[in-house]
Amino acid sequence: WKAAFELEFFVIESQKGNDETTKIPDSLNTETSEGQLYSIGSLELCRKWLEEIVENCASMGVPADTSVAELAPGQFEINLRHVNDPLLACDHALNLKQVVKGTLRNHGMKATFMAKPFAYLPGSGMHLHLSLYDNHGENLLAPRNSKKLNQAVSGILDLMPESMIFCAPHANSYHRFEENSYAPINATWGKDNRTTALRIPSGNEDSTRIEHRLSGADANPYLVMAMLISGFLHGFEEDPEIPPETIGNGYEDGSRPLPQSWEAALDLFQNKSRLSSILGQEFSTLYRQLKFGEQKRFRRVITPHEYDWYLHTV
């Protein structure tokens, strides 16, 4: 295997504002930074702490690679280099989060990997690139129309609806999924198509890989990796029919919609046995119990929004 994660996050102020809301630092929330994907100006504003993140990652053995400014002000992405060990790639993703948080704390700010911290801005994702090689170093997914690649894609997509609870594990996770929101809402795939759940990046044949774009930055990288490898194996063993490639806007391809609520995702995982049998019944039962408990506790909370809407109107 060769695997690498890409993680998005927001930089936020260390203290809440007077209205008790979380805010992006004024230095990052500028007219020049808003709406400019890959803005060089935004990176220049943050050069000092971005360079420190790379240095701190190196000291911890985390192979940080490219840093980019995302579309939203105060939102950034850091890519990790590919490694030959999926478990190590997960370690790198988890350690990267700690490095980012610690470095920004030293600069009087905070980082959040919450999936959707701001209703009016895009959410933060965690993309996973995965490829498979044989003992001779040959990429089993190459060329891009190979049977192995089609099987891997079809296996991942076949299990994707019931795996949603791993990619979007919390209540907030589902605010990220909207049309044209840079987060896929359908189980789709395409070549170099960033509107689909699975993307086959362009490049030389030896680098052929699958980019899984569904997970939020709040997802557990170990569970996402386990789910994706399970999809590979499911595809190789069961060889489900691969759906047609999505050409154009993946948000308009509603033939395979994904669960759009926390409750629906957990119910689907509860009632589908295929992924549970792959991951093990003991783990699956425990995970379901933890998530049902989390949902129960979450529903007990009365939000400020409910007071605003209903306290004096009903």
pLDDT of residue 32: 47
Is 124 part of a structural domain of the chain?
A: no
Cα distance between residue 289 and residue 294, in whole Å:
9
Same domain, 72 and 150: no
Residue 217: is its pLDDT beyond 60?
A: yes
Task: Supply the pLDDT for residue 33.
Answer: 46
Helix (H, G, I), strand (E, B) or coil at 236: helix
The verdict on residue 295 lying in a domain is yes
Q: Are strands 2-13 and 75-80 parallel, antiparallel or unpaired?
A: antiparallel
Residue 36 has pLDDT above 60, yes or no: no
- What percent of the chain clears pLDDT 70, i.e. is strictly above it? 95
Q: How confident is residue 17, by pLDDT bands cut at 50, 70 and 90?
A: low
| Nearest CA among 236, 216, 121, 224 for reference residue 170 | 216
Strand partners, 64: 80
- Across the chain, what does the average pLDDT equal? 91
Instruction: Choose the final residue of a domain: 73, 97, 113.
Output: 113
Residue 306 belongs to a domain = no
**90 plus 145 within the same structural domain:** no
Read off the CATH number of the domain in which 59 is found. Answer: 3.30.590.10
Does 192 share its domain with 63? no
Together in a domain, 34 and 76: yes
CB 218 within 8 A of CB 172: yes
Pick the most confident of 44-53, 98-107, 200-209: 98-107
| Domain coverage including residue 62 | 1-15+22-113
For residues 175 and 273, membership in a common domain is answered with: yes
Confidence of residue 228 (pLDDT cuts 50, 70, 90): very high
135 against 293, higher pLDDT: 293
Helix (H, G, I), strand (E, B) or coil at 283: helix
Which of 113, 130, 147 delimits the end of a domain?
113
Q: What is the pLDDT of residue 38?
A: 53
71 and 167 share one domain: no
Question: What domain count does the chain have?
Answer: 2
| Residue 177 and residue 84 in one domain | no
pLDDT at 233: 95
Give yes or no for residue 179 having a pLDDT over 90.
no
Give a yes or no: residue 239 inside a domain: yes
Question: How far is residue 301's CA from residue 118's CA, in Å, rounded to a whole number?
Answer: 20
* 50-83 residue pLDDT tens: 999 999 999 999 999 988 888 788 999 999 999 9
CB 2 within 8 A of CB 16: no
Within 8 A by CB and 6+ apart from 239, the residues are 151, 154
For Cα atoms 183, 260, 71, give the angle at the middle one, nearest 5 degrees. Answer: 20
More confident of the two residues 20 and 59: 59
Q: By the 8 A CB rule, do 3 and 130 touch?
A: yes
